[in-house]
Structure 1
């Protein structure tokens, strides 16, 4: 109603100075705007007023309770907005959407919330894995010009970079453990081929021919103990 009356150039009928004479035509246009804007249950007591200013004040008095409820709801939403934090398991998109939803509800109730306030809140609420990038953005970024969408893109890029780095470290660790399995301590390993410590039989440097020669020598020694056989 206020916007309509300002557009019609009759808002002065509401903010009139008692000592100023207001054009009656403007008063009637302002009253018409009020009648068209209020619900039916409010129309009858409003219609009894003779001037637009009186009708406007009557509406304000009737809705003072609703204004108090609205203010209470705004304060509740602001408390929820400030206390919301992002856990390590949260998705950055889902968290920012929830935060923006609260900000939208505050705006619907008539409270103005700048986008820069949402940006700063996100930077304060992110978990430890985002602390470095959040600190850099706060120090070197244009906080007044930055949008929520731009901030989310930068946080997601950082998150993806961190994830790729963790994958590389994990792969390197697995490779190191695999290589370590081949270079483990063999000082107590006994080779059943040469009967010495320090390696497995599969790694033994003795050739198969040498093992066969040793077996032949053992046979000859045994046969020398039995006369007449040779």
Structure 2
């Protein structure tokens, strides 16, 4: 049991103090880990659903929207899920309001989304937003 207890945190150690055999400790730690993995997967699914439903409001600034979107992507990736750059770019182009429709269509039709970066897409949208504000 001493070998099992060495790498675990003190908090986890205190919650397993009532276990009397190494097998009980091992099963308890394994059960807790499986529960943590399930929670992590459930959280990732919730964040993915939020990512999918995210839309930019007409009055919202592009920078604010992109911060929200990139924050969600970072949280999803931190939970071990993968989201490709091309998928994020396509989401941005789908989520922008109608005032960005022309530039979003041009990027989809004439830009190579397979080689473009998210920053390039955002930069193009920002340049267009700047022109609109004049």
1:166-188 CA distance string (max 9 Å, x none): xxxxxxxxxxxxxxxxxxxxxxx
Q: Secondary structure at the match of 1:63?
A: helix
1:154 aligns with 2:128: no
1:176-223 CA distance string (max 9 Å, x none): xxxxxxxxxxxxxxxxxxxxxxxxxxxxxxxxxxxxxxxxxxxxxxxx
Aligned with residue 35 of structure 2, among 53, 56, 65: 65
Alignment of 1:1-230 (within 5 A): 35-36=6-7, 38-40=8-10, 41=12, 48=22, 59-164=29-134
1:67-101 CA distance string (max 9 Å, x none): 11111111111111111100110100110010000
Q: Any unmatched runs of 5+ in structure 1?
A: 1-30, 50-54, 165-230
Distance 2:131 2:30 in 1: 55
The change in CA–CA distance for 1:118 and 1:60 in structure 2 (over 3 A counts) is: farther
More helix by share: 2
Give TM-score scaled by structure 2 length.
Answer: 0.78
Number of positions where the alignment pairs a residue of Structure 1 with one of Structure 2 = 125
Q: CA deviation at 1:107?
A: 1.1
Structure 1 residue runs of 4 or more that deviate by more than 4 Å after TM superposition: 42-45, 57-60
The change in CA–CA distance for 1:142 and 1:59 in structure 2 (over 3 A counts) is: farther
Counterpart for residue 202 of structure 1: none
